[in-house]
Amino acid sequence: MVGMRRFEGTDTYVATQDLRVAVNAAIALERPLLVKGEPGTGKTILAHEIARGIGKDLITWHIKSTTKAQQGLYEYDAVSRLRDGQLGDERVHDIANYIVPGKLWEAFEAAEAPVLLIDEIDKADIEFPNDLLLELDRMEFYVYETRRTISARHRPIVIITSNNEKELPDAFLRRCFFHYIRFPDRATMQQIIDVHFPNLKHELLREALTIFYDIREAPGLKKKTLNLRAPRLDQALASRRRVARCAAYARSGQADPTFARGSVEERTGRSPVRAPRLPAPPRTRLTRRCDTGTTRSRHARA
Ligand SMILES: Nc1ncnc2c1ncn2[C@@H]1O[C@H](COP(=O)(O)OP(=O)(O)OP(=O)(O)O)[C@@H](O)[C@H]1O
Ligand SMILES: [Mg+2]
C-alpha cells in the first residue's frame, strides 16, 4: 500500500471505523474485499466512494443470473467475423480483431490500478465465483484464440458485493477479505441522513428515526424494506401518519390490519376490490397475532 491513500470515507459516504479498517486492510493485503449486508446498507456505493476517496478509476461489472465468468475476461465475436468474411473485409484474417475484452481485462490493462467492482456476485450461477479463482488470485488469464496471457499491469482493488441469495464456495471465500456492513445504528443513520439532507429539521428527523427504529425492533414484522435508498424524504414524510400508526400497533403488540391486508395482496397478487377503512390504533391488548390466518381472512373480507 506504499504511496496509496488510505480510505477514510468521503463527504457523501459515512464509513464506520470497522469498515475503514476492512477496506484499508484488503487493499494492503491485496485481497478482494467481499462485502455483505442488508439491502441498502451502501455495499455498491462503497466501491464508488473508495475510488473517489483514494483517487482511482472505477470499473463496474454488474452480475446477473445469466452472467458467465468468461464474459469478464473476454468474448470471441464470431458473428462479426462471419459478417466481415462475407463482405470480404481484410480484418477477418486476424482473429485478434474479434476478441472483445471484458471488465477484468479492462482492469488488468489500466495504466493505474483501478477499483474493480463485481456487484451482486450471488446473482450468478454457483460456478461463477469458482471460475474466477485463478484470475483473482494470480491476476492473469490466458486467451486461447490468440495464445496470449493477459497479466494485470497493476493489481486492481477488487470489491465484491453479495446479498447472500446464494452461498459462495469455500475456495472463493478463502481468497477474500470479508466484511459485513452492519445495519447502521441510530447515530450512524443520523450522520448518513445528514450527508444527504443537511437541512432537515432536527425535530422531524428525530421523530422519524424513533418511529423507524421502533418498527425495526418490533417482533413479528418482516424486515424487508430497510433500504436507505429509501423513499424520497418528502414521500417518507407524507406517509408519516401511517408509519406512526404502525408503530403504535407495534408497541401495543397488536396486529396491524394494513399488514394483514398486504399479505392477502401478496398471496393473491391483487388488491381487494374495496379498500378497508383503517381503524384507529388499539387501546387494549389483543391476543391475536398479526400473522394468524384468522386476522388476515377477517380483513380480506372487509
Ligand atoms: N454509509 C453511507 N453513507 C452515505 N450514504 C449511504 C451509506 N450507506 C448507504 N447509503 C445510501 O444508500 C443508498 C443505497 O446504497 P447502495 O445501493 O450502495 O446499497 P446496497 O447495499 O448496494 O443495496 P442492494 O443490496 O439493494 O444492492 C446509496 O445511494 C446511498 O445514498
Ligand atoms: Mg447494491
* pLDDT (0 to 100) of residue 302: 35
Residues 6+ away with beta carbon under 8 Å from 19: 46, 179, 181
Give the model's confidence band at 295: pLDDT under 50 very low, under 70 low, under 90 confident, else very high.
very low
* pLDDT (0 to 100) of residue 290: 38
Q: What is the DSSP letter of 13?
A: B
- Round to whole Å and give the CA distance between 240 and 250: 15
Is the pLDDT score of 96 beyond 70? yes
Ligand 1 pocket test, candidate residues 13, 228, 232, 233, most atoms within 8 A of CB: 228
Query: Which residue reads 473517489 in cell numbers?
Result: 52
Measured in Å, residue 251 CA sits from the centre of ligand 2 at 32
Which three cell numbers mark 135? Answer: 484470475
Q: Which residues surround ligand 2, an ion (CB under 5 A)?
A: 44
Give the residue-averaged pLDDT of 198-225.
84
Judged by DSSP in three states, 226 sits in coil
Pocket of ligand 1, beta carbon within 6 A: 13-14, 37, 39-45, 161, 163, 192, 195-196, 228-229
